Each structure stands twice: as structure tokens, then as C-alpha cells.
Structure 1
Amino acid sequence: MTEQEARAAVYTAIHQVAPDVDTDDLAEDARLRQDLELDSLDFLRLVEIIAETTGVDVPERDYAEIVTVTGLIAYVGVHG
């Protein structure tokens, strides 16, 4: 999966989980839980949507790698 495809998938998933987040002005260094204010259930839903739409399963042991939007894009790009 290209970086552009991964970015599009991540932005779409973020929009589905947190529709109030403006993905047009989203800083990619934004932290998913703190800056985007995703609670634990939102984060799990985000990971679930990524798995459903891209086929990239994120095991719990890898959650530390996807703290930021950039981290999630990179993870999806590498594993997708």
C-alpha cells in the first residue's frame, strides 16, 4: 500500500470515528488519544475500521507504534 493510500484510509477512519475532527487541517503529528480526544473505545473502533477497510490488523502489542496520525499512516503503509 502506498503512503497516499494509507493516508486516505487513516483520514477516512478518523472521520468515521470522530466526525468533528477536521481532517482538512489535521496536523499529522497530532496524538490520537490526547489531541484528537479519542477515548479507549474510539481508539479501538479506529483500529477496527482500519482492519476492515485495509486488511491491516493492529495487535494490541503494536498500539505504542500508532500514537500519532503519522504513526498510524506509517503502520498501515508498511503492513498494508
Structure 2
Amino acid sequence: MLGNNVSSDLIGRLRSASRLVQSSGAPMTGFQAKLERFESLAAECELIATRMDGSKRELYLRLGERYRDRVNDLRALIASFDIAA
């Protein structure tokens, strides 16, 4: 299953990037933009799933779920920076 490896890799890369952001004093707009993009992709997948049937419906539902997982990961990451700041 992809979820854990992809999630771990994404979180690791975002944490590395966040150290650079924090040290440079740059705004975290990049993380917010990624969050909004993942939210949009999840919503699109869920909408497409309502128009499909069978295996295609399941595919889009799973894809939407993965994007929702990334949204939750990013929200947690952003919240951790708000607490640390």
C-alpha cells in the first residue's frame, strides 16, 4: 500500500523545507497553497466518483481519500509550526 511511504516521504520533505522557511523568515504561503490544492483535488475526485460506477467509482473514492489524508497531514504540520512559533 502506498499510503504510509508516500505520506512519510511527503512529511519528511515538508519538514525539511519548513526548516528553511523558518530560518529564512519567509511566509508559509507555499504550505497553504499545497493544502488548498490537495483540498481541491480531493473534492474533484469525490465529485467525479459520484458520476462513475463500479471500479472507476472506487478508484476515484480511494484517490480522494488519499488527498484528504494529505490535507490532514499538512494541517497537522502547519499547526505544529503555529505552536512552535
TM-score between both structures, scaled by the size of structure 1: 0.32
Higher alpha-carbon Rg? 2
TM-score between both structures, scaled by the size of structure 2: 0.30
Greater helix share, 1 or 2?
A: 2
